[in-house]
Structure 1
Amino acid sequence: MPSKTLFRTTAGLFALAAATVFTWWAWLGRDTTMTLDPATGDYSGPYTTAQVAGAVLTLAALLVTAVLLRVPALPAAAVMTVAFTAAWTAQAAGQDESGLFAVGATLLLAGMTAGTTVVALITAGLRRHRRPAL
């Protein structure tokens, strides 16, 4: 791989990792409040459905953009998965006394791996088959 391509790939992956961690922080990282349901007495949270959906859509947009900008698809998917899972796990581990954060981290890792891989491969496939501009 020529040095220019290697630099561009490395820079793209670092930028994607930083944008991924920022996305986690912006949508989920600042919210640590549990909500009490007065009818049942059960706690839920800290995230709402809208927060998670916003994070997922933002992550998908970041990944599609990165792959369209020629960041290799599978490394991009892997970097995004590791960065988001690490950020989420670091916060969850610090707040969870039960140890169940490990289950959440495992499920998040599995879901992110599947989701980012599919999005990255579809985007790379579409990029290869896109017709050149006239």
Structure 2
Amino acid sequence: MTKTTRTLLGGLLLAAATVGAWWAWLGWESGYTVDPETGATSGPYAVWQVAAAVLTLLVIAAVGGWFWSPWLVAPVMTVAFTAAWAARAASTDDTGLWAVGAALVAIGTAAGATVVSGGAGWLRRQVR
């Protein structure tokens, strides 16, 4: 297998796993919760859902960084997760604030994927 083919397949696998993580933890949620006593609205995600999504993305970034370069892992995961999140948010938001959320999701995903995949790649080189 050529390096180009390996990189292309790796990128497709990372994108699929990242979108799968979004769908598994966040993609099915659509409702907000209103506290009857205070009237405070929260959601649409519960804390456990976001924590599970982040942990899953950490695993994907670590495995990706072990096998591929952070220069592949970070951009692919950032674009895939942000696109999946933004598509749902844009379709349910009337205020336009989904774009701010998408920017924050992109920044967080990029930072996390870069650090974790870079650390995994560094660790792999130390083990050799």
Report the TM range for the smaller structure's normalisation. over 0.9
Alignment partner for residue 34 of structure 1, among 32, 35, 46?
32
2:86 to 86, 89, 96: 89
Q: Check conservation: 1:20, 1:83, Cα contact below 8 A.
A: yes
SS at match of 1:26: helix
Give the letter for the 1:32 counterpart. S
The equivalent of 2:101 in structure 1 is 104
| 1:67 paired residue number | 65
Tell me, what secondary structure is at the counterpart of 2:30? coil
Alignment TM-score, normalising by the size of structure 1: 0.91
Contact 1:35 1:46 in 2 (8 A): yes
Distance 1:72 1:117 in 2: 10
- What pairs up with 1:1-134 in 2 under 5 angstroms? 4-68=2-66, 70-130=67-127, 132=128
Separation in 2 of the partners of 1:5 and 1:20? 22
- Shift >3 Å, 4+ stretches: none
For residue 67 of structure 1, report the CA deviation from its aligned partner.
2.0
* Contact 2:65–2:116 (Cα < 8 Å) also in 1: no
The share of aligned pairs that are identical, in percent, is: 49
Between Structure 1 and Structure 2, how many residues are aligned?
128
The Cα RMSD (Å) is: 1.1
1:127 CA drift (Å): 0.8
Cα deviation, 1:22-63, whole Å, max 9, x if unaligned, reads 110110010001101112112110101110010011111111
Q: Is the 8 A contact 1:23 1:58 kept in 2?
A: yes
